[in-house]
Amino acid sequence: MNQKLKQKTTLITIFSLVIILAIIPFFHTEEPPAEAVQPSGELSAEINKLLTSEPVLDGALAGVSIRSAEDGGLLYEHIGNTRLQPASVLKMFTAAAALSVLGEDYRFTTEVLAHGRINGGTLEGDLFLRGMGDPTLLPADFDEMAKRLKSKGINKVTGDLVADDSWYDDVRYSEDLTWNDEHKYYGSQVSALTASPNEDYDAGTVIVNILPRKKGNGANISVEPDTDFVKIINDTKTVDSEGEHDIKIEREHGSNSIMVSGTIPADAQKAREWIAVWEPALYAGSLFKKSLEEQGIKVVGKIKTGNASVTMTSLISHKSMPLSELMIPFKKLSNNGHAEVLVKEMGRVVHGEGSWEKGLEVMDAELSRLSIDTNRLVLRDGSGISHANLIPANEITKLLYMAQKEEWFPVFQRSLPVAGAKDRMIGGTMRNRLKEENLKDRVAAKTGTLTGVSTLAGYVETSSGEILIFSIMLNNLLDDREGREFEDQIVRILARY
């Protein structure tokens, strides 16, 4: 080869190398590999056998996705790119977006303001209770706020107690909530001002307690917290110990009349049920008024709703627990109200509008930043209660992989239910599942249940110490309860892998 030809060949080689090096960055990505590789071996064989032989799946759909937590590579999938109903597994998407947008130290604020002149110990005007989204307000918090007002020397309010929940819009229910769920604790109205009866933080609910009396008498019914905001209509009967335990509790639409009917055996244990109230802002106002009265602060006027203004005098404010702590009851107990509040709060913080529409816009943008293909998702709410929500199993495992790279991941991971852990605030909805000793502390996962739907997604430690990410989505089941054992069988297979 002559010298000129050698030089020409060398220049072509160098030029080609430069071009290759220049285009490599455009193909580099932090996303997990998209190509599914089904390993030949026991993992694939066992899962495939379950999918083809399990009677519960007859006529149903099963989306399965399994990834390596180390590199995100897909190890197994079955219709992993098919959109399916996620149920409460969707809460992990809401949690990830909220931690990213709001931050793990974010707190909700509740304010007490005066509209009028304070003369001596008298407020000559209205007292405003302004909610800004806190779903964790307890009766004890209203007591504490009343004590602080008392310490400021206020003894009387000549006007009204005004409950202000205008921080969010006035749409109380997500668009796909069914009418027969509105009195259930998981279907409570979403409001910027609300209250919870206990530290499960089911905002906008009361607890109805039912105890038997002597045979032939009506049951003994009480409400937590002790409030006259709801009216109990007792149509129950205590029957002998062999009789049927058949208690039904309903709330009349548009009112706070709670009807309790049916029979309870004379030797029955206390029955408890959480019932959603109508108009949670007024409910919170009624609890605050009671706290004020117990501190000797008289409110002459009535409780009503209204909007505070920037010209009013701020008297006190209350801060919620940080979002990092709220994540525990939210995800451990699968709290629907928390999910929807977080959606509206993201909309309020980013777009100045506390609505589902704006909040879901924020979620879409933030999930895209986390490399989720949002074009594959259909999101209608933050809790997963809508049957119109649709997510592919592969996008769920991708989220769980990408979340590991975020600063807030320790909070996210800690808030997942731990299989077999007895403590409700550790085991959560997984406390009675996968309780074998050899699985202890090895499975952390979010559950999901709707009529005909059962889902499970999270992390499992294998026998070799490797962490696998999994998503199991069962749709169109005849009995969603039977799907849980199938899910647990797959997790057991993964744990042995």
Any catalytic annotation for residue 422? no
The predicted structure's pLDDT at residue 42: 77
The rounded radius of gyration (Å) of the Cα atoms in the chain is: 27
| Mean per-residue pLDDT, 82-94 | 98
In this prediction, residue 33 carries a pLDDT of 55
Rounded Cα distance, 304 and 129, in Å: 10
Mean of pLDDT values over 430-446: 96
CA angle 63, 67, 73 (to 5 degrees): 120
**Residue 483 corresponds to which amino acid?**
G
289-303 pLDDT per residue, tens: 999 999 999 999 999
pLDDT for 268 beyond 60: yes
Our CA angle for 197, 199, 201, nearest 5°, is 65
Our answer to whether residue 334 is catalytic in this structure is: yes
How far does the chain reach from its first CA to its final CA, in angstroms?
58
Cβ contacts of residue 20 below 8 Å, gap of 6+? none
- The CA distance from 170 to 172, in Å, is 6
Question: What percentage of the chain reaches a pLDDT higher than 90?
Answer: 89
| List of domains in the chain | 42-105+324-496 (3.40.710.10), 109-171+280-320 (3.50.80.20), 205-276 (no CATH)
Single out the catalytic residue among 88, 174, 324, 454.
88
Closest CA to 93 of 333, 329, 373, 451: 373
C-beta separation of 261 from 236 below 8 A: yes
Q: What is the pTM of this model?
A: 0.91
- Interval 454-488: pLDDT, tens: 999 999 999 999 999 999 999 999 988 889 999 99
Q: What is the DSSP string of 239-254?
A: E-TTS--EEEEEE-TT
Residue 88 annotated in active site: yes
* Cβ–Cβ < 8 Å for 75, 394: no
What does the pLDDT read at residue 481? 85
**Sign of CA pseudo-dihedral 394, 397, 403, 405:** negative
Q: Worst-scoring range by mean pLDDT, 27-31, 114-118, 207-211, 320-324?
A: 27-31
| Three-point CA angle 419, 188, 131, nearest 5° | 105
Q: State how far the Cα of 82 lies from the Cα of 265, in Å rounded to an integer.
A: 49
pLDDT in the model for residue 21: 34
Where does residue 143 rank: exposed (0-12), middle (13-18), buried (19+ CB within 10 A)?
middle
Check 100, 188, 320, 334 and give the catalytic one.
334
Mean pLDDT of the region 312-338 = 98
From the candidates 91, 289, 332, 344, give the one annotated as an active-site residue. Answer: 91
Q: What is the pLDDT of residue 199?
A: 97
Of 38-47, 84-93, 201-210, 433-442, the least confident? 38-47
